[in-house]
Amino acid sequence: MKKIALLVVILAASSAAGIAVASTSSVTITTPKVNSSLAQHHNPYTAVAGTVSFANSAPATSRFYLRRDGCGTTNDNPHLSITSGTDAGDGCGLILDQVGLVGDAAPQATFTDYAASDGMPLALDGTHAINGQVSLSGGQVGLAEVDVTLEALIGGQAVTIGSGSGSALLDPTGTSTPVPFTISPNMALDGSDVQALDLRVTIHGPNVYSGFVALSGASYVDVPSYTASVNKSVSISLDDPTFSSPIPARVSGSTWSVAIPTPAVGKHTIYAESTQGFDTSSPASTTYTVKK
């Protein structure tokens, strides 16, 4: 009961001071001041300004493990996950006997898609290589070639981040043979907010192989990323809390500003909100009066 009362007090205080509470960013309006007034004939434009804070966008790496829920079931569900664990689909997933030529064309039907089930959204760092490994285990001898393609959904559009290959001599005596790979990402995608991610894995090569992709932490892809989105903005809205016609503000460090034509004589409310990636803050607001 006490906690609830305290929360109400905090929310009330935030609202009164024009402070917005948000998960990764927040915004305030410092100009015009609450309940201030200005003369229209002296001020054809109204200066609007405030402060903003965003979560730090530091370089990081997001590791996605290749995982699989089942083996030969209708819901094997190969997928990527940022958490590792024992996979029920480990020890299965790929049964392949192949003797091929070096660089042989990989049959299209042999690829497996691992779509991310968590870890989204992700702020992509496209300036660094994407590394990973696909471990192979089972009865095996020869050279295994692994082709990978990383595809993403960005802005609702499917884009290829990049492709890569790796190869390794299969070790018939070992538990599994890690086949490392490197993907050079499309640098134009640096800073993009990734909505969904898929790793397509194709295994081929001059080998005799009857086995599977080793899971349970043995196969993964490391995607360079930022700890928070680098796409940061502030927008304001005049007398419209729904922001149906948002006006972008100029952000400089921890402050923002914009000038708008002074509205008609009367009382007006300016709303401001900050956006970082897919996260939008609660709006801050200030009410002021325009006089003749």
Binding site for another protein (CB under 8 A): 108-109, 113, 115, 120-121, 149, 151-153, 155-156, 158, 160, 193, 195-196, 198, 200, 277-278
Q: How far apart are CA 124 and CA 118, in angstroms?
A: 15
CB of 198 to another protein, least distance (A): 4
Of residues 170 and 203, the one with the C-beta less far from another protein? 203
- Chain centroid to CA 54: 16
| End-to-end CA, the chain | 49
CB of 202 to another protein, least distance (A): 12
CB atoms within 10 A of CB 35: 10
Q: Which two tokens stand for residue 39?
A: 């003369």
Of residues 153 and 251, the one with the C-beta less far from another protein? 153
106: which DSSP letter?
Answer: P
Q: How far apart are CA 289 and CA 291, in angstroms?
A: 6
Of residues 116 and 170, the one with the C-beta less far from another protein? 116
CB of 158 to another protein, least distance (A): 4
CB of 279 to another protein, least distance (A): 9
CB of 194 to another protein, least distance (A): 8
Of residues 50 and 121, the one with the C-beta less far from another protein? 121
Q: Give per-residue burial for 67-105: e unless 16+ CB within 10 Å, then b.
A: bbeeeeeeebebbbbbebeebbbbebbbebebebeeeee
Of residues 30 and 112, the one with the C-beta less far from another protein? 112
